[in-house]
Amino acid sequence: MIYLDYAATTPMLDKALQIYNEVAKNYFGNSSSLHDIGSTANAILEQSRKTIAQYMNGDPCGVYFTSGGSESNYLAIHSLLKGNLEKGRHILTTDLEHSSIRNTLLDLNAEGYEVTSIPVDHFGRVDLDALEAAIRPDTVLATIHHGNSEIGTVQDLITIGEILNNHDILFHSDCVQTFGKIEIDVQQAKLDSISISSHKIYGPKGVGACYINPKRSWKSVISNTTHERGFRPGTVNVPGIAAFITAAEEIFPIMKDEQIRFSKLRKKLIAGIQGEEWTITEVEPSNPIRLENIIGICVAGVEGQYMMLECNRHGIAISTGSACSVGLQKPAKTLLSIGKSKEEAKQYIRLSVGKFTTDDEIDETIDVFQKILTNHFHKK
């Protein structure tokens, strides 16, 4: 099967698998244990913390390992709010956030926090004037993602961070889609916390990290927690973390070249699937700041669910949006937020390429699209 759903998850690298097995077999100790086996595991953990910090220009003291991006989002937001109760109960966000953010904010809203959603333009970029206008004396935190998982739009975190920092507002960003794809500099963007995930960069599932600026105060979500310096309960997954770091060390040196390669694959695919009998629209093709690996398209008159199932039948894995929203049977919220109609949103499909995507696979995908659409429109 041709896999074109890398934005949902990625296959593990052979080297990451190898390191996982080696650490799980030989360095299995609990990193909190005081004996030598535990100390060895802790040494691996602390070196991993330093490596991750380097990739975001952060302080190793601010890196906390978690089970993934969703938990990192939840813990970052709650920990920062709990540590800054005196700052207020107003939160800024967008309608384009990952479900783990949206659901966290729904709970906080029920607990008395007021949440304001900042509008975006037709590219999905935050309206900076609207952001500035929405700030209030009691605004405590803003949570704005870096890269959108459905259309690939990248937010200008540096400018957003400058605005928020001028008002001393805590700034969290979900960086799950961008970590290992494009540069993230927590200091330059004045980020107080970010979330990242291992399985988006060819590491194991169930592993991620949260970065919190050590200069910011936070409090444990669960009292008396001892692991990860009180940030998260539970024995730390040292083998998974070591594999995560291994994957990062493989991916970061090539990420700029890969975005260039992804751009070429993207252009080839879009050009190849066009036809005289159907209209295929790339979602905001002129967007100057985007993740080249995420390709969102709409086929006029054809529901995305149909295209996804037909591609699957022909041995190609694509999606109709974020994997965390599958089964909801609703138009992609991102598409509606950037001004698309419900009909257009239902026609949306997402193809996402990755490290193992080849030109030959794109050629075969083009042939399959042509076959599916020719059959579909000839039936009418």
Q: Cite the active site residues.
A: 324
Backbone angles phi, psi at 173, to 5 degrees: -140, 130
What is residue 161's three-state secondary structure? helix
Q: How far apart are CA 307 and CA 218, in angstroms?
A: 46
Strand ranges, E, within 234-358:
280-282, 294-299, 316-317, 348-352
CB–CB of 72/208 below 8 Å?
yes
Q: Which two tokens stand for residue 130?
A: 């609207």
Cβ pair 248, 25 in contact under 8 A:
no
Burial class (CB in 10 A: 0-12, 13-18, 19+), 110: exposed
Distance CA 321, CA 229 (A): 36
Task: Report the distance separating Cα 109 and Cα 260, nearest Å.
Answer: 41
Residue 85 tokens read as: 């109760």
- Measured CA to CA in angstroms, residue 272 lies from 171, 224, 280, 348, 363 at distances of 41, 58, 11, 18, 8
Strand 63-66, strand 208-212: pairing: antiparallel
CA distance 36 to 129: 56
Going by C-alpha positions, the residue among 359, 261, 264, 361 that lies closest to residue 316 is 361
Among 297, 299, 295, 296, which Cα is nearest to 275's?
A: 299
Contact 49, 212 (CB under 8 A): no
